[in-house]
Amino acid sequence: MFKLPPLSYNIEKNTCHISPWNRKYTMGDAPFFSSIFTNGQEILSSPMRLVGIENGNELVVSDVNNCMMYGATDDEVCACQFMQSKRFVFNTTLSVERDGMIDCHLTVSSQGRTVAQQFGLTDCDNGDRILDRLWLEIPIKKSAAISYQFAPSGKALIDGKEPEVSPAFYSLGAMPKQSLKLGFINQLFVSNDEVGFAVLFETDKHWQYDDEQNVVECVVKDDEVIIRVHLLDSEPHSWLNKGLSNGLDLVPISFRIAMQVTPVKAFPANPYTEKNMHIDCFKKILEPYEQFLLSPFGESDEIALDRMKRLGVNTLYIHEKWNDIQNSPMLTEPTARRLRLIIDEAHKRGMKVVPYFGYEMSTMSPMFAEKADEWLISNIHWHWYRYPWQRAIRVCYCSGWKEVFCDYIERMMNQFEFDGLYLDSIDTSYLCSNGAHGCGYTDENGKRKGTYPLFEVRKLMKRLSDIVEKRGGEICLHSCSTFPVATASYVHRFWEGETIQTELMKGNLTRVPEDYYRAAYAGRNIGIPVNMICYSNPPAWTFDEATANALVFGIIPKPVDTGYPLEQMSKLWTALNTFPVENSQWVSYVDSKITLTDSDVKMSYYETGKEVLCLSANMVKAGQQGVTGKLPYTAKQVKDAISGEVLARNAAEFSLDYGAFDYKVLRISK
């Protein structure tokens, strides 16, 4: 399991370098950062900057000074900056944590009187102090910003208009040609296939934007993408009344901005070591778990758990149904007996067990009546209804539920010895205005506004990660479309695909936009392997079709059925297991040197000096016959790695036939 090394830093005159794993953040003669280096790439095209209008003229910030704060540790360092314009002072504090997360505070104040001026020994500059605009601009190299994703999902203006795709795909895609305009959001992440940069926000308190659809934007230039954050589009309302001093004593205003640079950890050399089975995720079983797992499969004499083991499963995920009380770490006696039995039987067979926990508090919970008002999220739109009869409502992890949940999870892991956590959207920050636990604020017009508890969710995930990793387990996360970058370092694998498959099953799509996949599924640009949740619903949508839509991104689905899907996945696991993935180089279809005669068919591969394992798929719902693959060399043999059929010998070309949403796995000997 990858462990992040301690933070390091060094100072050269007025330049500070802070170095999380595989990254270097440089504070120089500009606000915030003048350079960000990650995974061998410089991602800033020029230093970050504050842009604005001061007294009718362009804001010019100068005299930037940097210093490190005393008390740096292996886990966190803090730096501060001071700088000024003609009549304003700008202070920043930047805390960097071990995983590279950056917590920035920007405070803006008017220049006041020095001691000498206060005592009348020198003249005071009593000129205008009007700040009509203040933007933070983060210039990213265009090569590092080919894709975007933002959260929460919602409307976006792409090149000045709403995108012509399903709203389900608004929040991810290829960087537009001219601009991407968003309202106030929690996260904007831009990336290529190897690196990424996220800017994140908890609150828009003190922000003053003119256009609610253009608060955070990307301005696309020839060689860069400028992330522009509209902190102030007009003079702060609290500064309009300057009194007799003409603004000398304006009350300072502050803004909080977070940033994260990816990848946050090393991508595993072999992302396929876990062979998982997810019971009751989408294919719902009718009987109790223990009955299903310990009964014969179909008409055979082989019980389900033994069948899973024989077909290669080494990790069993159990979904909501294992727990009588939805999401509760406080168990009923039947739940405890069920969990104990499942874990014991799985462990006997050398299989790990990972239980599901969601984002809710159930009406069955012993704490619901007493704590619901304090712990629930403010904007409750819907909530689960399930047997045993209950409703389960989203909680906010800024509340006291965070500590209760972690404490009981730790007790459970000690008692039942399960092997990790499957978390459903728990590390996502949702807008909340419940003041009973500290979320939200009241603006100057008396309107209650929500905030995103970003840093409280980080505390939750860090605690859970510590609990799980100390016991040798992993945290697996399912989120909806976008990945919460702020907490990615505390996660070991992502599971995604819900949005895509829902649209395909409904018939809203015949193919998924390739740019969506690239934005969401790279995995390597964050440092976390991605697996696909399979929502198979034949004939509308099948396990094979889900596999085809994931495979060329190096992603495999998890079977949710012990029948055909598990049989097919077992064959794919065998093909992957018998190839030295951990000693090979991954080559995406974008950079592939193997050319195909049909653009709807993609091929990525793992390559060693002697062999190639190709993961290929037809990405459309129509058959493709006689597709020719052309190699940059003459191969000794091209073989179907699943069926074993030899397709070509001593050849530089081979031919393949694909069904609709079909896939092939080839093994090529050079």
Q: How confident is the model at residue 153 (pLDDT cuts 50, 70, 90)?
A: confident
Q: Write the CA distances from 617 to 455, 465, 536, 556, 656, integer angstroms.
A: 40, 35, 18, 12, 11
pLDDT in tens, 202-223: 999 999 999 999 999 999 999 9
User: Is a pLDDT exceeding 80 seen at residue 401?
Assistant: yes
Q: Phi/psi at 311 (nearest 5 deg)?
A: -90, 5
Dihedral pair phi/psi, residue 523, rounded to 5°: 75, -50
Taking domain 586-669, whether its CATH number is 2.60.40.1180 is answered by: yes
Match 């016959």 to its residue by tokens: 625
Residue 134: band (very low, low, confident or very high) from pLDDT cuts 50, 70, 90 = very high
Alpha-carbon Rg for the chain in angstroms: 27
Q: What is the pLDDT of residue 168?
A: 75
Number of H helices, E strands in the chain: 11, 41
Q: Rounded to the nearest 10 degrees, what angle do helices 401-416 and 454-470 cross at? A: 10
* CATH number at 8-262: 2.70.98.10
Query: Taking 90 as the threshold, does the pLDDT of residue 442 lie above it?
Result: yes
- State the pLDDT at residue 161: 92
Model confidence over 311-339: pLDDT tens digits?
999 999 999 999 999 999 999 999 999 99
Residue-level pLDDT at 512: 74
CB 389 within 8 A of CB 146: no
pLDDT, mean over the chain = 94
Q: At what angle do helices 498-505 and 543-551 cross, to 10 degrees?
A: 130
Give the C-alpha separation, 88 to 129, whole Å: 7
Residues 6+ apart with CB under 8 A from 572: 547, 556, 642, 665
Domain coordinates in residue numbering, the chain: 8-262, 586-669
Beta-strand (E) ranges in 192-334? Answer: 196-200, 216-220, 224-232, 253-262, 276-279, 315-318
Whether the predicted model's global pTM rises above the 0.85 cut: yes
Cα 575 to Cα 35, 173, 610: the distances in Å are 43, 31, 17
The confidence score (pLDDT) of residue 380 equals 81
Coil/strand/helix, residue 550 = helix
Domains 8-262 and 586-669 share a fold: no
The pLDDT > 70 percentage for the chain reads 100
- For 240, counting Cβ atoms within 10 Å of its Cβ (0-12 exposed, 13-18 middle, 19+ buried), the class is exposed
Q: What is the spatial distance between Cα 370 and Cα 368, in angstroms, rounded to a whole number?
A: 6
